[in-house]
Every structure is written in structure tokens, then in C-alpha cells.
Amino acid sequence: MSIGTRLKQLRKQKNFSPSQVAQKLDISEVVYNRLENDEAKPEIDLLQKLSNLYDIDLFDLFKTESANISFYNSKIEATNLINQNSVINQQIPEKIFEVYENRISDLMSQIDYLKK
């Protein structure tokens, strides 16, 4: 499943029009339509906005029918899932891993603080 197809699926599940999504993302409807039609690939900041808009994990934007990719275990396991499900063709930027590594690091710091 392409990222455009997934975006269209998520939009329809929320009963949003393309113009509503574009407005919520602060982009033009033309740009959003290009994303849904796989004529453009979203940058990492737009991927984060999309995951927030649809209230899903960032990796769930790349969900396929055979697997729901998430980052609950490890970067290696997530990479293996991506490769097995051919989502790597979507050219997921390495920055996605950085986002999760930073989130994990922040959570670990908070846990350490709370233990003290």
C-alpha cells in the first residue's frame, strides 16, 4: 500500500475532505492532493503532523494490509518489518528513527528523575 493510498484511507476513516485535511496541516489542497496521488512524498515534519491529526503512531502511517508497523520493540525489529513488507520503497527517512530515539531518551530521563 502506498503512502498516498494510506493517507486517503485515513482521511476517509475520519470523514475529512481533502480540503479539510490540507487546512488542518496548513498546506494547500493542491499539495495534499499530490501526496494522496503519490506525486509527492511528505517530509518528516508533515509526517508528524499527519500522525497527530489521525492520532496514530508515526509508523502506522506506513501500515500495510499484512502488518502494522510500530516502534514498540526496537529499531532493528522495526527495520526488519519495514523490509519484509516492502515499505522501504516509501523511502522512510532515517530521521523517523531519530525522532523515536529522542523520545525514548526523554522518557528514560523522566523515569530516572522520578526514581530519585
Residues in contact with 100: Cβ distance below 8 Å, sequence separation at least 6, in sequence order: 58, 71, 75
Task: List per-residue pLDDT tens for the chain, 116 residues long.
Answer: 788 888 999 999 999 999 999 999 999 999 999 999 989 888 888 888 998 999 888 877 776 544 444 444 444 455 555 454 444 445 455 667 677 777 787 778 888 777 77
pLDDT for the residue numbered 88? 46
Which CA distances in Å does 103 have to 24, 29, 32, 108, 110? 24, 31, 28, 9, 11
**Shortest CA distance to 3 belongs to which of 72, 76, 96?**
96
CATH number of this structure's domain 3-115, picked from the four choices 1.10.3720.10, 1.10.260.40, 1.10.3470.10, 1.20.58.220: 1.10.260.40
Residues in contact with 2: Cβ distance below 8 Å, sequence separation at least 6, in sequence order: 38, 90
Q: Is 34 exposed, middle or buried (0-12, 13-18, 19+ CB in 10 A)?
A: middle
pLDDT for the residue numbered 103? 77
Residue with cell 502506498: 2
Task: Tell how far CA 44 is from the center of its chain.
Answer: 8
Domain ranges of the chain: 3-115
